[in-house]
A and B are shown apart, each in its own frame.
Chain A
């Protein structure tokens, strides 16, 4: 026992060694992901070759603790040189800790989520994100629908769901709204086509109320899909990530509203179902503000530079490299992201789904409505979306409550 105690203390003191380094430290939650590793490795190798005295040190943090640890580290003046951020609220909350990267953003789209009101860019997006409807072509055929002619209008979609219901093999849509994410996705998908660009901007600025006829129509449309029996029972207790998407991949539902990058996207569905069995279309809506449906798009994830870091200049150069065409090309090819860098060559992508998605990006789509409302409104919308699905509130009641939150949140700004 005594020897063991002494040995333990000795071993610990011998092995305990300082690990402070002069490297550029990069925090993220993705660098350990196998499909993203080639991108991170290439960016590191190229930068270190061009700067022989520099070492890039990726530190992958557990995602669920990421912003807690990042916040503590930044507040204590010990944050990383470079860190990854989600666009929107998470990025905006950290603008004060970041350097101005506006001059490096010339070739990038999806900047809105990383910009302040003056247009200053605080992080460079590496991907863009948006919503489309994926469908299972095999289930279309089984139901007697033409898999090569997806719905283009609201009436087409309603008719397709009626045919699917008659076939009775699977629900028309799979839906996971346990966290209110389905509510977010549907709000942005419908708003993209039902609101004009001016109305979108007014909604983002808090000048268009939830109880306005235009926004209330979105809520009513969603409730109508529930009334038409598009979803399986229990959507409010099904998680969107990944129960909803696993249902789609298992062939337990015909459609799902998915993403264009990262996860729950064309590459994941192609890999599981086969590219030939996956179809995609933009979510149509009743009373569209445009001739054809619009795809909601925003900046996905992006890198910022800690303004209090020890190597701001080098860190800025590395972030510029992370967002540049060379490494991003690898990210696109291996992980299937849709790039924020417009100079990246995407002609090598062969999936029919992503070819369609890239086509719809010209001209660049409308921003995602849910990402532009305040955090308080978004939280309340997640709750109200569940109540709407349950039939516990009417669209008018939900809109009235959201108006109150909108007014309160805007008065705080």
Chain B
């Protein structure tokens, strides 16, 4: 028994070493960004990896003003909230239809949606850009909201379909017997029941939209979102690393706060969609 305990401890120690290295590799970039954001450029050049000696918040002020982060922040909030809200509505409706309703080629439609998950964004950039111009959506937040919705919809539909397929069909049938129309079934039964999946989806899509650079760069050329503003802090050949670090810290802060608030849902939500669909 004692031998088994010792062996178990030894295994735990062996496992904990790579895990600790992995944890350190995740934490170190955060430390690097925070530490260097508090240095001036001279301090950084003289000692890139050392602990900050004379902390300054000038980089945060400069990053905020130089990159118009207040305006870009608003653009990011509006487009992210808009896109995530649309994604939740559309994917929930589509998931309901694909999982619950019976209609011809239902499976084929689901497979097509799944297949579209495998097409990289870069492949469709040119036709996508021409479509945006053709629809008069260039340089509009509406254009970016619709673009995000289109690009992130396949995964969202897949997730919601999988989740709704796992719910008891009797709930839908009971509502129908009580005289509920389809839209009422979705609103009064499926949306409340699908809340865990919707929260997870909301969080994941918020991360995707908030951190996007490429789509935003193409669609919102005159206004910019926060991450594009941060990317613009990098020079042609040279980068003021403390300034960029401050920008990254500012841009990451809302997402980190969001993660802290919804930590439990995010962790539990990782399993959603992995169950039988």
Contact = CB atoms under 8 A, between A and B. Distances in A.
Interface string B31-68: 00000000000100110000000000000001000110
A240 B237 CA distance: 9
Given A16-B78, A61-B217, A78-B133, A1 B191 contact: yes
Interface in A1-29: 1-2, 4-5, 7-9, 11-13, 15-21, 25, 29
A12 B83 contact: yes
Q: How large is the interface on A (under 10, 10 to 19, 20 to 34, 35 or more residues)?
A: 35 or more
Contacts of B126: 72, 75-76
A241 B238 contact: yes
Contacts of B62: 34
Contact of A242 (B83, B140, B198, B237): B237
Interface residues of B, number: 52
B129 interface: yes
A5 B45 CA distance: 48
Nearest to B81: A8
A17 B141 contact: yes
Contacts of A20: 138-139
Chain B CB count within 10 A is highest, among A75, A242, A272, for A242
A11 B231 contact: no
A13 B238 contact: no
Chain B CB count within 10 A is highest, among A15, A25, A246, for A15
A29 B231 CA distance: 11
Nearest to A4: B85
Interface string A72-88: 11011110000000000
Contact of A21 (B46, B84, B218, B222): B222
A332 to B, nearest CB: 19
B196 to A, nearest CB: 11
A16 B228 contact: no
A17 B129 CA distance: 19
A144 interface: no
A246 B45 contact: yes
B263 to A, nearest CB: 19
B141 A242 contact: no
Given A59-B221, A242-B239, A32 B89 contact: no
B273 interface: no
Contacts of B236: 29-30, 63, 263
B120 to A, nearest CB: 15
A263 B235 contact: yes
B213 A62 contact: yes
Contacts of A217: none
Contacts of B214: 65
A16 B141 contact: yes
A18 B139 contact: yes
B56 to A, nearest CB: 16
Contact of B45 (A7, A9, A15, A249): A249
Interface in A252-271: 263-264
B234 interface: yes
Contacts of B66: 32, 34
Interface string B169-192: 000000000000000000100011
A16 B244 CA distance: 29
Nearest to B130: A76
A9 B222 contact: no
Given A242-B237, A242-B239, A15 B139 contact: no
B250 to A, nearest CB: 16
Contacts of B141: 12, 15-17
Given A19-B223, A34-B66, A76-B133, A9 B89 contact: yes
A184 to B, nearest CB: 12
23 contacts: A4-B85, A8-B88, A9-B82, A9-B89, A11-B82, A12-B86, A13-B82, A15-B78, A16-B141, A20-B138, A29-B236, A32-B66, A32-B67, A61-B232, A62-B228, A62-B232, A63-B232, A63-B234, A63-B235, A64-B231, A65-B214, A65-B231, A78-B129
Given A12-B83, A16-B142, A65-B214, 20 more contacts: A1-B192, A1-B198, A5-B88, A12-B86, A13-B82, A15-B78, A16-B78, A20-B138, A25-B222, A33-B235, A57-B222, A59-B221, A62-B231, A76-B126, A78-B129, A78-B138, A242-B238, A263-B238, A272-B42, A272-B45
Interface of B: 42, 45-46, 62, 66-67, 74, 78-79, 81-86, 88-89, 125-126, 129-130, 133, 136, 138-142, 145, 187, 191-192, 195, 198, 213-214, 217-218, 220-223, 228, 231-239
Interface of A: 1-2, 4-5, 7-9, 11-13, 15-21, 25, 29-30, 32-34, 57, 59-65, 69, 72-73, 75-78, 240-242, 245-246, 249-250, 263-264, 272
